[in-house]
Amino acid sequence: MPRIVREAEIVWEGTTARGSGVVAAVSSGAFALPTTIASRVASDPEGKTSPEELLAAAHASCFVTSLGSELARAGTPPERLGVRCTITMDEVEGVGHRIVSSAIAASGSAPGCDAAGFAQAAEAADAGCPFSALIRASATVTVDATLEGGADG
């Protein structure tokens, strides 16, 4: 099996409370983003990313490829899929901050697929998505799937 290796880096200056960092994609060069502890824990991130937001992007982009594969395997390849992922970090008594849930909302159109088939593909995608499998060790993963248009198709 070919190994896939991807690297990212962060340079952090100062303490957690008052410092800040820039997190960058080394393998692709696709992003370089400022982050602070305030942008991580406050309800308003003020335009800055955070580990949890990066995980949400990772889970959404991992899940969407799994869902596309499952639909293709069922003979109903998708035309278009949309996946929204929300990662929640909470303070758990006695253990500190923990990532407690990842909520996936998937929608899309796949000619020839009915609502039950789409739901089934979403379930299989969750079972097959490497990120879902990993994060389930510590967090709750929920999947909500909605077929767009032609629900009886």
Partner 1 sequence: MADRTANVTWAGSLLEGGGTIESVGSGAFGPLEVTWASRAEESEGRTSPEELIAAAHAACFSMALSHGLAQAGTPPERLETSATVTFVPGTGITRVALVVRGSVPGLDEAAFLEQTEAARDGCPVSKALAGVPEVSVDAALL
Q: Report the b/e string of 124-150 with b at 16+ CB within 10 A.
A: bbbebbebbeebeeebebebebebeee
| 127 touches partner 1 by CB under 8 A | no
Q: Which residues pair with 103 in a beta bridge?
A: 86, 142
| 74 touches partner 1 by CB under 8 A | no
C-beta closer to partner 1: residue 51 or 153: 51
| 152 touches partner 1 by CB under 8 A | no
CB 78 to partner 1: min, Å: 7
| 113 touches partner 1 by CB under 8 A | no
From residue 116, give the alpha-carbon distance in Å to each of 7, 107, 146: 39, 13, 10
Binding mask 5-44 for partner 1 (x = CB under 8 A): xxxxxxxxxxxxx-x-x-xxxxxxxxx-xxx-x-xxxxx-
